[in-house]
Amino acid sequence: MSRRTSRPRRPSAASARTTSAAEITAASPCPCGMPAEYGACCGRLHAGAAAPTCEALMRSRYSAFVVHDAAYLLRTWHPDSRPEVLDLDDPGMRWERLEILGATEGSAFHTTGTVTFRAHFTHNGRAGSLHEKSRFVRYEGAWVYESALFTD
């Protein structure tokens, strides 16, 4: 998922951090929706474990938005399409839930894959969702996010 904030910076934004990142601990239910604790699910990937499938990478990238791990998002982004910086510090943004709608290829036997998902969020109290089909490729052996094939 490639959503990033593009609104003008307000001087107060830096001090008005959201608390959502701090609410997640290793024992929390994983934000990605798998029936597992964060530390045993996406937290492992954030700590350096390789994603076995595109879907696992997609889930871990969604969770990285939730826990504000911009460094993980950048290092799992193909260098050709990766933004230089990623600002996740939008106090009004709260990622609520990830729905995986479909996936093609993307296993240990593939070099490309796609994942279609809907990510539900609340922004300044208003519910919304991001619907996207993401394309993933292997880069130096590891799955990385390449681009959105469609997004709405």
* In the complex, least distance from residue 32 CB atom to Zn ion, rounded to whole angstroms: 3
Residue 33 near residue 98 (C-beta atoms within 8 A):
yes
Q: Is the CB of 92 or the CB of 116 nearer to Zn ion?
A: 116
**Paired tokens of 32:** 């990605």
**Site size for Zn ion, by CB under 5 A?**
6
* In the complex, least distance from residue 75 CB atom to Zn ion, rounded to whole angstroms: 17
Residue 65 near residue 73 (C-beta atoms within 8 A):
yes
Q: Is the CB of 39 or the CB of 92 nearer to Zn ion?
A: 39
The secondary structure of 81-127, three-state, reads CCCCCCCCCCCCEEEEEEEEEEEEECCCCCCEEEEEEEEEEEECCEE
CA distance 63 to 106: 19
Give the distance from CA 46 to its chain's centroid.
11
Residues within window 30-49 making contact with Zn ion, judged by CB under 5 A: 30, 32, 34, 41-42
Three-state DSSP at 80 gives: coil
* In the complex, least distance from residue 59 CB atom to Zn ion, rounded to whole angstroms: 5
Residues within window 86-145 making contact with Zn ion, judged by CB under 5 A: none
Per-residue x/- track, 55-84, Zn ion (CB under 5 A):
----x-------------------------
* In the complex, least distance from residue 41 CB atom to Zn ion, rounded to whole angstroms: 3
Chain contacts with Zn ion (rule: CB under 5 A)? 30, 32, 34, 41-42, 59
